[in-house]
Amino acid sequence: MYAKTFYTKAFQKKDSLQIAKGYELLGFAHKKDYLKSFTYYDKGIEFSKNLGDNYYPAIFYTYKGVVYSGDGKYEKGLENHLKAIEYAEKNYNEVLIYANKHNIGILKMHLELYDEALQIFKECYLHELNDPNRDQYDFSFSHYSLADIYVKKNQLDSAKKFNKKGYELALKNPLREYFKYYFIANDGIIDFYDKNYEKSIQKIQISINSLDGERDKLLISNGLFHAAKAYDSLDQEKNAIHYYKKVDSVFTKNPHIVSSIIIDTYKRLYTYYRSQNDPKNEALYIEKALDIFDVSKKNFRNLSSKITKTFDRRSLLQKQQELNKALNQKDKSYSLLMRISFIILCIFIIVLISFYIKQKQIKKRFQEFVQQHEQAIKLPKETISIAKEDVTKIGIAEDIIDQILATLEDFEVKKRFIRPDITLPSLSKGFKTNSAYLSKVVNTYKGKKFAEYLNDLRVEYAIEQIRTDKNYRLYTIKAIALEVGFNNSQSFARAFKRKTGIKPSDFIKQSESTAM
């Protein structure tokens, strides 16, 4: 009902992507009757194949491929997976490309082309590993596929590693909690090859009781077979035969899940009944084995050949395309490198011009400052007169003002300001007056606050030394700052630039060039 409602609204709005989504939902709504669901998928394919969408129609082919493969119609499954990859590549959907590649890997595994299946699973795993937006369930399933194929190749260390990590990922997905039983079953099969037979049987039994007989028939069949072999290894023949018959039961319900496991099962059953002098059952299982070998294996060989001719050839073509792409990318990279080099050259020229302009400005400012400074030095020093208004304004007796100004002059002449520990209170004490009086006299007669007055004296002294003493020009900024009474280079640099308009380092360079 909801799927129909969704589709109807999308059709009324003439929203193409929503209409395609409607066909997808209708297909899902009839998934128990896959032939009916396929009618909607086919309509979705026909409707969306020219939309240029990266999801449709590739997803419809993907669904059909999965259903056909699960129902044993492997050739049709392969055909649809290849179509899905074609559209996914055309419309740049990496997720669906690798999902369908993974499904083809499963087909190869059913055909017992383990080396080829392993290469596909590795490719899919590496893609997901490097994708920060990967689906965690799909990533967990990649671990399962790798663990499964490594078991089949008898590479148990690798199988254990991927099975353990996959199990941990499965536990983190509460919506897919049942998936942990895939890894428990796999762990039981690994235990069998490690000769931990009792543990193997226990884990396989736990997992089989929790798996879906329809959806997980391949894994159930594989688990039952290894449980049977574990009982055989423990010399518990009756239990072993019981489990071999369970394998036969699964296969009888699903005759398309052909594998060497089924052949080995029937071989074990007919040899058992031969030893029991039961020709009827011996003949029954020999006939079953021959039917599978003669008919199903032939079909599998045809499919194996088809996969080799289509998918593997497609892989070679894809590699060729990747090589061409790499060559084109190399040309693009060269072109990009040339553009970047040109941009860097332009930036370098701009920086060079800016540096040149800045140096000219610094030189001009230096010359202006030096000229003003030298003129100021040549001017006769003004005698400070104490006006009655100032006495009234600052509220200090005239004789005290006179005494403070005289002491300040002596302080300046004797360069006592270069001591780093000078503060307003300490200098007031040395002048035998108080801080308030000294601060008011400096503010009124020097025209600045005490801190600025002190810093200006030190900067003036630094300027004089830089201009007249070539050794001073060899000092670091920090050394000059400490020499003239500042506690650090930062406060010196700020005071210097405020007074001169030039950084100390630039002032030293200009002084050096003019001295030469």
Please report which confidence band the pLDDT of residue 395 belongs to, taking 50, 70 and 90 as the band edges: confident
What is the reported pTM?
Answer: 0.56
Residue with tokens 């319900």: 253
pLDDT, tens digit (0-9, with 9 covering 90-100), for 137-167 = 888 889 999 999 999 889 999 999 999 998 9
pLDDT at 298: 56
Distances from the Cα of 134 to the Cαs of 39, 98, 307, 330, in angstroms? Answer: 31, 11, 27, 29
List Cα–Cα distances, 322 to 20, 95, 122, 123, 317, in angstroms.
31, 18, 18, 15, 9
pLDDT greater than 70 at residue 132: yes
pLDDT of residue 377: 66
* pLDDT confidence of residue 383: 58
Average pLDDT, integer, range 362-390: 68
Asked whether residue 73 carries a pLDDT value surpassing 60, the answer given is yes
Residues 6+ apart with CB under 8 A from 274: 282
Instruction: Count Cβ neighbours within 10 Å for each residue of 426-446 and write b for 16 or more, e otherwise.
Output: ebbeebebebebbbbbbebbb
Is the pLDDT confidence value at 191 over 70? yes
* pLDDT on residue 338: 77
pLDDT in tens, 53-65: 888 888 888 888 8
Q: Give the DSSP H/E element, type plus range, for residue 320.
A: helix 313-378
pLDDT tens string 383-394:
566 666 766 677
